[in-house]
Amino acid sequence: MSVAEKIEAAPAPRIAILGAGVAGICMGIKLKQAGFNDFTIYEKAGEIGGTWRENTYPGCSCDVPLHMYQFSFAMEPDWEKKYVRSTDLKTYLERVVDEFGLRPHLSLNTEIDEARFDERAGLWRLKSGDREFEANVFVAGSGQLHHPLYPNIPGREDFKGESWHSAKWNHDYDLAGKHIGVIGTGASAIQFVPEIARTAGKVSMFQRSAAWVLPRPQREFAGWEKALYRVMPPLMKLQRWKVYWQGELLWLTFHKGAEKIKEAAIEAMKEHVTDPEKQAKLTPDYEPGCKRVLFSDEWWPAMARDNVDVITEPVERITENGIRLKDGSEITLDAIVYGTGFDTTHFLGPMKVTGLGGRDLKEAWHDGAQAHYGMGVSGFPNFYMLYGPNTNLGHNSIIFMIECQANYITRLVEKLQEDDLVYLDVKAEAQKRYNDRVQADNENSVFASGCTSWYKTESGRVTNNWANYTFRYWWETRHPDFAEYNSRARLDAGGRNVETGKPASIAAAE
């Protein structure tokens, strides 16, 4: 039988995708393009979009130029600006879902609470409340920045005013004339503080560490540019390449040209902020890149405003009326906004995942999450993650990484069908070899240069970031190396391995 005939004859795997963000959508499209139609995207919310649906705070936008922050296979010519808002990206993703016919594959309002690999049947069994689903392959695209993190400050419940997290923006609250406290000065705060400072009476920012903020060269596309992109789509690809290599250059700059980043950021600050005390507070004490370098044209003018205060005295507790500082002073506030980011190191959120021999994924990760190329975990057959451990970037677009992963996983699904396998399971030694290298890369990188960041666990292990050029990731994930995988042949009707005649669990233990 030829390979093509074998593929034709073998049953097509059923695939469950978790999450309808950029990752889940990309996975669905890649599967469809490879001819797999038996898949469902389970999404806990009532709409698609992930990050770009959840984050609606004023000023929320993407800081990667849009030619690099859209799918390489679905580039559009009519964007208004170089850096786009979250709402524009949400609308783009809705269009992509329609264009690629993903709507019938969506199961919205379906939060997966539990996933268990049934060894006998060779299937993943997923639970959502009292509903159950099964699939041969389970791909989780639950995002690294999805579960809002609140600061561990006593008294949060005591505050009598309004309070909310930046990812759950309270659009009903009228900021006009109010005194707003902002806790956290990371990527989200950099975007919403300039917006709210225009309306609020006063903004007090409680800052633990300052951010390196570079100018963001925002601009509108001229009509002729859009027309050119429309008639000559390869020009969009060319632009994408340019932005891609600029991103890769940033990685080099973190290590070889950090002084240049510092100079540019300080110059941008001094152009607007003239008060030396404020300048000192807003100057970071760590290397650029250790935490994400941020891009904004509005941050420094906002910091120069008289109604914006930067408070570096540590917070002692939240009180009924505001915030008490370690020096005993209390600041009365009308509302508190938590710009404190996300729980990033507990991948997959509260979902329980059980693999071969009843192995619990959270236990397997007791030292910190890890996965082979951020996707597979040994002992969890046919289970893959998108934007999983060590695949976040500080210098380029996450969409690039997600496309590499969706291609790789599609190839693994094809292999299942070609060889009529029950499952593929990455070998423990392959995962270890890979992870040792990734950890060594991280230890030698700017991420380990001495700051606290969302890239690391409490013990200081970098579980979130890819510490290398992204073309290396692309190169290594172009094709899976099947020698790095264990596999099991299909089972007969009695749950026996068709090759050995033994029950699946015995075969797996061997």
Ligand X SMILES: Cc1cc2nc3c(=O)[nH]c(=O)nc-3n(C[C@H](O)[C@H](O)[C@H](O)COP(=O)(O)OP(=O)(O)OC[C@H]3O[C@@H](n4cnc5c(N)ncnc54)[C@H](O)[C@@H]3O)c2cc1C
Nearer to ligand X, 141 or 381 (CB): 141
CB of 98 to ligand X, least distance (A): 17
Using a 10 angstrom Cβ sphere, with 0-12 exposed, 13-18 middle and 19 or more buried, the burial of residue 274 is: exposed
CB of 421 to ligand X, least distance (A): 27
Nearer to ligand X, 94 or 420 (CB): 94
What is the C-alpha separation between 466 and 400, in angstroms, rounded? 12
What is the C-alpha separation between 363 and 14, in angstroms, rounded? 27
Closest CA to 310 of 299, 296, 319: 299
Contact indicator for 330, 322 with CB cutoff of 8 Å: yes
Nearer to ligand X, 47 or 476 (CB): 47
CB of 280 to ligand X, least distance (A): 28
CB of 361 to ligand X, least distance (A): 13
Please name the residues in contact with 61: beta carbons below 8 A apart, sequence gap of 6 or more: 83, 84, 85, 86, 191
CB of 461 to ligand X, least distance (A): 21
CB of 374 to ligand X, least distance (A): 11
- DSSP class of 45: S
CB of 178 to ligand X, least distance (A): 23
Nearer to ligand X, 61 or 370 (CB): 61
CB of 36 to ligand X, least distance (A): 19
Binding site for ligand X (CB under 6 A): 18-24, 42-45, 50-51, 55, 60, 62-64, 69, 111-112, 141-143, 145-146, 187-188, 349, 351, 386-387, 397-398
Nearer to ligand X, 17 or 200 (CB): 17
DSSP 3-state of 120: coil
Nearer to ligand X, 51 or 417 (CB): 51
DSSP 3-state of 267: helix
Nearer to ligand X, 22 or 200 (CB): 22
What is the C-alpha separation between 213 and 304, in angstroms, rounded? 14
DSSP 3-state of 135: strand
Nearer to ligand X, 54 or 484 (CB): 54
Which H/E stretch holds residue 376?
none
Tokens of 18: 């978790």
What is the b/e burial string over 348-385, where b = at least 16 CB atoms within 10 angstroms of the residue's CB? beebebbbbeeeebeebbeebbbbbbbbbbbbbbbbbb
Nearer to ligand X, 145 or 336 (CB): 145
Strand order in the sheet with 202-206: 162-165, 335-338, 179-183, 202-206, 308-311
Nearer to ligand X, 456 or 488 (CB): 456
Nearer to ligand X, 301 or 349 (CB): 349
CB of 86 to ligand X, least distance (A): 7
What is the C-alpha separation between 459 and 462, in angstroms, rounded? 9
- Please compute, for residue 261, the number of CA atoms within 13 A of its CA located in the half-sphere on the CB side: 26
What is the C-alpha separation between 319 and 155, in angstroms, rounded? 6
> For the CA atoms of the chain, what is the radius of gyration?
24
What is the C-alpha separation between 507 and 498, in angstroms, rounded? 11
CB of 436 to ligand X, least distance (A): 25
What is the C-alpha separation between 306 and 283, in angstroms, rounded? 19
Closest CA to 141 of 339, 436, 409: 409
Phi, psi dihedral angles at 462 (to 5 degrees): -80, 105
Cα dihedral: 432, 437, 441, 442 (round 10): 10
Nearer to ligand X, 417 or 464 (CB): 464
